[in-house]
A and B are shown apart, each in its own frame.
Chain A
């Protein structure tokens, strides 16, 4: 902890703490929530809070390091989009979260309820244990009876309150004629209370009130850990889902109206501004532009768009405004048909049985049979109902799945906590177990291994004049390629040439006049050149031969490390992309990936993963686009980055919160370790049962032995899980 802290403080972007301005009271304020995947130390907290509080309009900002999140109270006109650049300048990655989804998780009723029950069980068991210790150390006769009666008075109401979740679960399972882990638990608790009351009434020697309470306490602890992990993941996943606001601009008789996407009808005209995403399938009525289809198909090359052309929901409009006429809305869009593929693939995944379920399936009937047999055996042997019932209760209590109940949640909590600190969110309960079995990793290219932003590759091939003219033209456009060109040229110290009369021709490029000659920067055909296979923009000065500016998709941070670490650990790495084979081959060479597939359709991706699974491989799919969703759902386990489309995030088990890919390899390693710990824990629990159960069956178990065995096994199991942190 100390080592981590000191290194963290040094690496932190803002470590000089200065006092922040006092908050100003503003009457009606809004709640803004930001996800901050990169924060990790006290200096980060101080910097983020100082930067946010210094921003005009912010009333109060508070960072929650456990959830890696900032809650901001601000004036009504403040927008999250104003605050994100502030934090980015300070060196922190930030994403907006939906405060509506957040407020639902803040008043976390179920979690508090469980915590209350846990506390009551804990404090009651402490008191009863105190009384029991007096009994075990020699209290006799009337004193012992009094201690037992007081124990009963504490235990009965405490268990009635804190055992509710088990009672409810067991009842709902029994009602439909099934057995679950809660049935033996409830049976053990009730039988222990009943026989103890009976014994107490007859001034008997042994009462199991303390055992019933500690049992409830340990099991509730397991439940609570399990709940915490799931609730944290669920709420964060919901917040991420709420990132995209589904709104569109509808044109009615030439007037613009902003409406929810779900209210659009077939035949209506919709305006899509540059940078906007197509809300529905349709046909272009007017306007010229370029379309980025990478999220749908994986192609990085923008596609020219003109009237008459069909567009699909999910494509991004790049340069000029487009008016489209809707041809399919809602569930008929290609986007939704893709979602149907996901639904089919998902049904395959739900067949996975977790280790805990496997254990429960063996365990629940076994315990009942063992207990019933010892009851019958003792009843036939001694003919005494009281002895037989006592021994049956002792067997049930001793075998009760204290350690089993803690074995899985304690490990998953430790593992998910560790992964969350590295920027990964585990959405699915069995994701870690499945991740541990992975032997093949399939990556998508665009947006996953690459960041989706182009990067200029051949800056050195051009003359200074060409670069200066290109820079001047590129500065006039917001097209991603222009932005990349400007970035590269400015970094190289190029100054823009004096180009006059610059106009952007949507869908084609930018045009201007330089020393009396017409200059153009844009699409190959428009400039007068041959279209190549790579992403490129062309520059023509006057009548001279056009020169090419080539771009490649920038590698995502940590992609190289992730791929090489996965290969080192002996996993097959495969690259499957919808992009052209040239681009895919280039990337595969850079990363050292031997097997790659280009120009894959969404169905191809899913089929390939299905084929791999049929050959007995366990596949981890990492992808972000709509074209990956079916594959994500078909894979044994799947990961998507936070920048991925809604549908892709929903279909995946694990979400990467930051931009870095390198935690993927760590996650696989942690998952293997976690599964190992879970198995170890089961073994510990079994060994303890093998030792204690025979004692209980032959009638030698006393409440003291039960208490010792139960606590030791539960604590051993929890400590073993903590080794993972």
Chain B
């Protein structure tokens, strides 16, 4: 059962990483236009080089 000493902190840490990643996506406006973003990926504009 000593393995729990590693596993529990690891699971808590991974959960924390998930939470921080989610907070980052909220802060950087990634949920402003879900439908538009889903459609934009189909457009071949800016496929060869990124939008300046």
The reply to whether B8 and A150 contact each other, CB–CB distance below 8 Å, is: yes
With the chains together, A206 CA to B43 CA distance in Å? 54
The reply to whether A17 and B43 contact each other, CB–CB distance below 8 Å, is: yes
The reply to whether B34 and A45 contact each other, CB–CB distance below 8 Å, is: no
The reply to whether A41 and B39 contact each other, CB–CB distance below 8 Å, is: yes
With the chains together, A397 CA to B23 CA distance in Å? 29
A63 surroundings in chain B (CB, below 8 A): 36
The reply to whether B39 and A120 contact each other, CB–CB distance below 8 Å, is: no
Q: For the complex, is A116 an interface residue (Cβ under 8 Å from B)?
A: yes
User: Looking at chain A, what size class is its interface with the partner chain?
Assistant: 20 to 34
Asked, given contacts A116-B23, A143-B1, whether A42 binds B43 with beta carbons under 8 Å apart, the answer is yes
Asked, given contacts A116-B26, A123-B15, A143-B1, whether A66 binds B43 with beta carbons under 8 Å apart, the answer is no
User: Looking at chain B, what size class is its interface with the partner chain?
Assistant: 20 to 34
Q: For the complex, is A498 an interface residue (Cβ under 8 Å from B)?
A: no
With the chains together, A66 CA to B36 CA distance in Å? 6
Binary contact readout A130-144 vs B (1 if CB under 8 angstroms, 0 otherwise): 110000000000010
A22 surroundings in chain B (CB, below 8 A): 52
Chain B CB count within 10 A is highest, among A41, A123, A146, for A123
The reply to whether A65 and B22 contact each other, CB–CB distance below 8 Å, is: no
Asked, given contacts A42-B40, A119-B26, whether A127 binds B15 with beta carbons under 8 Å apart, the answer is yes
Tell me the smallest distance from the CB of A166 to a CB of chain B, in Å: 20
With the chains together, A22 CA to B23 CA distance in Å? 32
Chain B CB count within 10 A is highest, among A63, A66, A67, A124, for A66
With the chains together, A64 CA to B38 CA distance in Å? 11
A112 surroundings in chain B (CB, below 8 A): 26
In the complex formed, the residue of B with least CB distance to A154 is B12
Chain A CB count within 10 A is highest, among B19, B39, B43, for B39
A23 surroundings in chain B (CB, below 8 A): 52
Asked, given contacts A17-B43, A150-B8, whether A65 binds B33 with beta carbons under 8 Å apart, the answer is yes
The reply to whether B19 and A119 contact each other, CB–CB distance below 8 Å, is: yes
Tell me the smallest distance from the CB of A4 to a CB of chain B, in Å: 11
B42 surroundings in chain A (CB, below 8 A): 5, 42
Binary contact readout B20-52 vs A (1 if CB under 8 angstroms, 0 otherwise): 001100100001111110011011111000001
The reply to whether B45 and A46 contact each other, CB–CB distance below 8 Å, is: yes
The reply to whether B11 and A127 contact each other, CB–CB distance below 8 Å, is: yes
Tell me the smallest distance from the CB of A617 to a CB of chain B, in Å: 38
Asked, given contacts A64-B33, A66-B33, whether A120 binds B19 with beta carbons under 8 Å apart, the answer is yes
Binary contact readout A94-130 vs B (1 if CB under 8 angstroms, 0 otherwise): 0000000000000000001001100110011011001
Interface of chain A residues 1 through 26 with chain B (CB within 8 A): 5, 17, 19-20, 22-23
With the chains together, A131 CA to B8 CA distance in Å? 9
B45 surroundings in chain A (CB, below 8 A): 17, 19-20, 46
With the chains together, A124 CA to B16 CA distance in Å? 9
Tell me the smallest distance from the CB of A518 to a CB of chain B, in Å: 60
With the chains together, A150 CA to B11 CA distance in Å? 12
One of B19, B32, B44 near A123 (C-beta < 8 A): B19
A65 surroundings in chain B (CB, below 8 A): 33, 35-36, 39
With the chains together, A43 CA to B43 CA distance in Å? 7
The reply to whether A46 and B36 contact each other, CB–CB distance below 8 Å, is: no
With the chains together, A64 CA to B46 CA distance in Å? 18
In the complex formed, the residue of A with least CB distance to B31 is A115
A17 surroundings in chain B (CB, below 8 A): 43-45
Tell me the smallest distance from the CB of B14 to a CB of chain A, in Å: 9
One of A19, A43, A45, A116 near B36 (C-beta < 8 A): A45
30 contacts between A and B (CB under 8 A): A5-B39, A17-B45, A19-B45, A19-B46, A20-B45, A22-B52, A23-B52, A42-B39, A42-B42, A42-B43, A43-B43, A45-B40, A63-B36, A64-B33, A64-B36, A65-B33, A65-B39, A66-B32, A66-B34, A66-B35, A116-B26, A119-B23, A120-B19, A123-B16, A123-B18, A124-B15, A126-B15, A127-B12, A143-B1, A143-B4
A-B pairs with the 10 shortest C-beta distances? Answer: A65-B36, A42-B39, A123-B19, A64-B33, A127-B15, A66-B35, A42-B43, A42-B42, A65-B35, A66-B33
A17-B43, A45-B36 known, 6 other contacts, Cβ within 8 Å? A5-B42, A17-B44, A19-B45, A65-B35, A66-B33, A126-B15
